Amino acid sequence: MISIKSAGDVALMREGGKKLGSIMKQLQAMVRPGVATEELDEAAKKLIAQAGAQVAFQGYHGFPGAICISVNDEIVHVVPSKRVLKEGDIVTLDIGCIWQGFYLDMARTMGVGKTTGEADHLIKTTKKALRLGIKKATIGNTVGDIGETIQRFVEGQGYQVVRELCGHGIGKELHEDPKIANFGTRHEGDALKEGMVICIEPMVTQGHWKLRHMDDGHGFATEDGSLSAHFEDTIAITKKGPEVLTKAR
């Protein structure tokens, strides 16, 4: 069942989104060669606590970290560890928090030090795919309109969109209806209505879209070892159009 949020609910989620966006910006500033992913996870825990919020991911289906940190061919849900980031890696920070009983969720992919032109183009493409998907998040459109727009743009750039994972509704629960796939058909699927809050999250691969489940029991990586990127924002559907609640300010 799709949850419709009141104006008061959205206002609280807006507050939480601002906090999460600020936390993301601070974590991104820490990304550099020589930093272990568990260091970023510890920093995230402290920043979330300092903001007066709660971690969203730790304990969710047994996940041990506060944030998911995926590197290179890894796409999502990777457990932080002693692994050290290297020059030329690309890393995705996927973070969430709970504010006043509501979940917020966002992700950003970025380069570590100097990266290749191919990696940069993949990141820019995924970021733009999110932007294009958000533009379709208007009253009367459908989740299929979002997915078709993302898929058409990404495939036009020579990449593929992940099929096995998707975006989602969000609110009192981290994952709510509807599912927001990164592929689809225009005018099909659930219609978008005022008061819905959704997470749009293009997951894009340089090679084939098929994934493998990683040994940590949580993470997913590309089956062919190709690079991947992932961007996500929490979006409120309003009369004035889509409102991004989780901008990295």
**Does residue 1 belong to any structural domain of this protein?**
no
Tell me how far apart the alpha carbons of residues 101 and 103 are, in angstroms, rounded to a whole number.
Answer: 7
**Does residue 69 belong to any structural domain of this protein?**
yes
- Would you state the pLDDT for residue 198? 98
161-217 pLDDT, tens digit per residue, is 999 999 999 999 999 999 999 999 999 999 999 999 999 999 999 999 999 999 999
| Enclosing domain of residue 106 | 7-244
**Section 35-53 average pLDDT:** 98
Number of folded domains that form the chain? 1
- Would you state the pLDDT for residue 248? 73
Tokens of 192: 């978008």
- Would you state the pLDDT for residue 244? 98
Question: Which CATH number fits the domain that encloses residue 149?
Answer: 3.90.230.10
**Does residue 239 belong to any structural domain of this protein?**
yes
- Would you state the pLDDT for residue 218? 97
Checking if the pLDDT of 60 tops 70, the result is yes
- Would you state the pLDDT for residue 247? 84
**Does residue 210 belong to any structural domain of this protein?**
yes
pLDDT averaged over every residue in the chain: 97
- Would you state the pLDDT for residue 249? 60
Tell me how far apart the alpha carbons of residues 181 and 186 are, in angstroms, rounded to a whole number.
Answer: 12
**Does residue 223 belong to any structural domain of this protein?**
yes
97-156 pLDDT, tens digit per residue, is 999 999 999 999 999 999 999 999 999 999 999 999 999 999 999 999 999 999 999 999
**Coil, strand or helix at 132:** helix
Give the burial class of 6: count Cβ atoms within 10 A of its Cβ; 0-12 exposed, 13-18 middle, 19 or more buried: exposed
CB 130 within 8 A of CB 59: no
**Does residue 249 belong to any structural domain of this protein?**
no
Q: Where are the alpha helices (DSSP H) in 95-203?
A: 117-135, 143-156
**Does residue 61 belong to any structural domain of this protein?**
yes
- Would you state the pLDDT for residue 246? 97
CB 200 within 8 A of CB 134: yes
Could you say which DSSP state residue 220 is in?
E
pLDDT bin (cut points 50, 70, 90) of residue 77 is very high
